[in-house]
Amino acid sequence: MYQLLCPSLFVDSVHDIQLESLQRRNIQGLILDLDNTILIWDENEFAPEILSWLQNVHLQGFKVVLVSNNHRTRVEKMAGILQIPFIHRALKPTKSGFYQAMKIMDLPAEQIAVVGDQLFTDILGGNRMGFFTILVKSLSSKEFIGTRLTRQLEKVAVKILKAKGLLK
């Protein structure tokens, strides 16, 4: 059970993800969460550093799909700015949104990494699909009320994972 909550990699931000290391693992596609992973929740402008990082992701040849539990209007607008495909109301951690992204990229599970800021949506869902999972620290403490509640459970889960030596 704990293994499903354990990310393959834990970094401070997307900037700390070594793209060359992912390529050595034969990762060719990235599924990106939106809110508090690459964009502060409820904001509508990407930080220039994020846009630069995403440009580098594309230059390195990665396929990218935005997968979010947020509503269509927001996700479509942000994906349009980034000019990448998207899945809205993905119902993470269920497999459906991840499966759709996998089909869009036309890659097998072992060639995909999920990048997100939540254990119970991004990491759990990605691990259930057999993806390489990357947990990043949340960009902001400003969040949807439901997410704030889940964060309390996440803190307990992180303590347990660290105590078991599964998370550093």
pLDDT per residue over 49-79, tens digit each?
Answer: 999 999 999 999 999 999 999 999 999 999 9
Q: How much is the pLDDT for 148?
A: 59
SS3 call for 125: helix
Q: Token pair 């303590």 is at which residue?
A: 159
Q: How much is the pLDDT for 141?
A: 63
Q: How much is the pLDDT for 168?
A: 66
The CATH fold of domain 2-163: Rossmann fold (3.40.50)
- Share the mean pLDDT of the chain: 91
Q: How much is the pLDDT for 53?
A: 97
Q: How much is the pLDDT for 142?
A: 64
**What is the spatial distance between Cα 142 and Cα 157, in angstroms, rounded to a whole number?**
21
**What is the spatial distance between Cα 65 and Cα 30, in angstroms, rounded to a whole number?**
7
Q: Are 14 and 36 in contact (CB under 8 A)?
A: no
pLDDT means over runs of 10, the chain (168 residues): 85 96 98 95 92 97 97 97 97 97 98 95 96 92 62 70 74
Q: How much is the pLDDT for 164?
A: 74
**What is the spatial distance between Cα 127 and Cα 161, in angstroms, rounded to a whole number?**
15
Q: What is the pTM of this model?
A: 0.89
Q: How much is the pLDDT for 83?
A: 96
Domain layout of the chain by residue ranges = 2-163
CA atoms 155, 142, 13, 129: torsion sign = positive
Q: How much is the pLDDT for 146?
A: 62
